[in-house]
Amino acid sequence: MIFKGAMTAVVTPFRDGRIDEDALRGLIRWQIAEGIDAIVPCGTTGECATLAYEEHDRVIRIAVEEAAGRVPVIAGAGSNSTANAIRLGKQAKAAGADGMLQVTPYYNKPTQEGLFEHFRAIVEMVELPMLLYNVPGRTAVNMQPETTARLAEIENIVGIKEACEKLDQLREVIRLTPEGFAVLSGDDPMNFDIYAAGGVGAISVTANVVPGRVAAVWDAFESGDVEGAKELHAELTQLNRAMFIETNPIPAKSALAMMGKCREEFRLPLTPLAEGHRNELGDILRQEGLIE
């Protein structure tokens, strides 16, 4: 199995409209030092939809440089255009990424056959291990377990980040896919339940803020301490909820700004956290000992 464990869907820090490279490097170094098993740049949390091709490439190259082989870098490379997804995948490979994350095409609302052909076309053109990414709440299309199982038979499609928010569907994905196909949680509140169902890790938003604690849940579970993992996961309930009080990555980046890790800067159409939510988030971070 290539990819497993607690992974961070890392934010993309901005400063005055540009990528804040120093902040990004610092975040990645901190994540690795805290025990995260992989870095996932240029995903939803990384505001990939508003990154130019050149910026997308730069973020991935920075992640690869800072990881320096210590942990894998799985580059977000998805698009609702198959041709663009192939381009981004090739760009990720050239940048030195260890794998690519490919989301189900948004807005187009492809059929299940369209999804199959989309991902098959990408993996045939890009020689890089692929994680599928199913997130119906973002894309308006839900990849069915049978489609995932078909794709799992294709060489170099090695796993899926599943964020369908349906544990029964996820269990069906695990049942239908071959041994060694990595099913990863894409929904922080469900991480422990997905591990218990047979998942082998998570690509986490909450890990941006508390990487060590998210990693500890997986580490405990993998070591056989299931009850300990369950307790550690329960302790993250408040933070997991807080990361989604507004559209991701607004709360995560706002929390990091309060912690002094980056600026609270977004690209439209994302806007800063509403004042009421800002106060709520600040209270939670203080309760968790993350700010004073």
161 given a catalytic annotation: yes
Catalytic hit among 4, 93, 161, 253: 161
The dihedrals phi and psi of 15, each to the nearest 5 degrees, come to -140, 115
Catalytic hit among 4, 93, 133, 253: 133
Q: What DSSP letter does each residue of the chain carry, written as one string?
A: ----EEEEE----EETTEE-HHHHHHHHHHHHHTT-SEEE-SSTTTTGGG--HHHHHHHHHHHHHHHTTSS-BEEE---SSHHHHHHHHHHHHHHT-SEEEEEPPTTT---HHHHHHHHHHHHHH--S-EEEEE-HHHHS----HHHHHHHHTSTTEEEEEE--S-HHHHHHHHHHSPTTPEEEE--GGGHHHHHHHT--EEEESGGGT-HHHHHHHHHHHHTT-HHHHHHHHHTTHHHHHHTTSSSTTHHHHHHHHHTTSS-----TT--PPPHHHHHHHHHHHHHTTS--
4 given a catalytic annotation: no
Which residues does the annotation mark as catalytic? 133, 161
